[in-house]
């Protein structure tokens, strides 16, 4: 009778799986919180930018319809000016967002950051819906107006219920930490 072999070879560590190591979070709890907020802010900013572009295109379409369908040059010009105002607002928002997030500083990794933001966008919108805030492409710009108007207090109270951990999975935060380290030249 032959001796039975052990299930795992002794001593060489070949039988150890990644599950045996345990969880490892990149960075401190404060840096994870800040980077999660960064991804959430960028995702909301990108969504608002897209929404404003769609709104501007619809307004320009209405301006064209007013000129050709109704024959009203005045209405077409007013709508055209309104469309330009929306585009200027969108450009200003994107410039502020780029400045706040230092997008030009992370040039080499910006494409990957955009993909992370895009991956996070759906989760962010789902979490906004859960707390009862505007979360669709057409209604997301209303969130900015709600933060400045009469409903500001109620909107801020709902935003406090926003759970970043639901919107930004740990794997995305870990990847963001690694990307930022490589973009900053750190180890």
For 50-82, the pLDDT digits (tens) are 888 999 999 999 999 999 988 889 999 999 999
The predicted pLDDT at position 65 comes to 94
**Closest C-alpha to 96, from 156, 160, 154, 44:** 44
Mean residue pLDDT of the chain comes to 75
Sign of the C-alpha dihedral, residues 101, 98, 39, 44? Answer: positive
The predicted pLDDT at position 5 comes to 47
The predicted pLDDT at position 21 comes to 44
Question: In the predicted model, is pLDDT for residue 86 greater than 70?
Answer: yes
- Report how far residue 78's alpha carbon sits from residue 73's, in angstroms, rounded to the nearest whole number: 9
Find where tokens 């870990």 sit.
174
Residue 83 banded pLDDT, cuts 50, 70, 90: very high
Query: What does the pLDDT look like over 133-163, one tens digit per residue?
Result: 877 766 777 777 777 778 888 888 887 887 7
Note whether 127 and 162 are within 8 A (CB): yes
Find where tokens 């209303």 sit.
142
Query: What does the pLDDT look like over 19-58, one tens digit per residue?
Result: 544 455 566 666 666 776 777 777 778 878 888 899 999 9
């Amino acid at each position: 009778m032959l001796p039975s072999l052990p299930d795992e070879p002794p001593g060489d560590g070949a039988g150890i799986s990644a599950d045996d190591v345990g969880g490892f979070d990149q960075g401190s709890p404060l840096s994870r919180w800040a980077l999660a907020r960064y991804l959430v802010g960028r995702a909301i900013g990108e969504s608002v930018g897209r929404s404003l572009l769609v709104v501007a295109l619809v307004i320009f379409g209405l301006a064209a319809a007013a000129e050709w369908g109704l024959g009203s040059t005045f209405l077409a010009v007013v709508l055209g000016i309104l469309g330009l105002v929306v585009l200027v607002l969108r450009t200003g928002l994107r410039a502020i967002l780029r400045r706040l997030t230092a997008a030009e500083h992370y040039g080499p990794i910006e494409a990957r950051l955009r993909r992370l933001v895009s991956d996070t966008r759906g989760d962010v919108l789902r979490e906004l819906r859960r707390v009862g805030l505007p979360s669709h492409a057409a209604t997301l710009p209303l969130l900015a107006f709600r933060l400045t108007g009469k409903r500001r207090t109620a909107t801020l109270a709902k935003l406090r219920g926003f759970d970043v951990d639901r919107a930004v999975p740990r794997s995305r935060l870990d990847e963001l930490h690694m990307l930022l380290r490589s973009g900053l030249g750190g180890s």
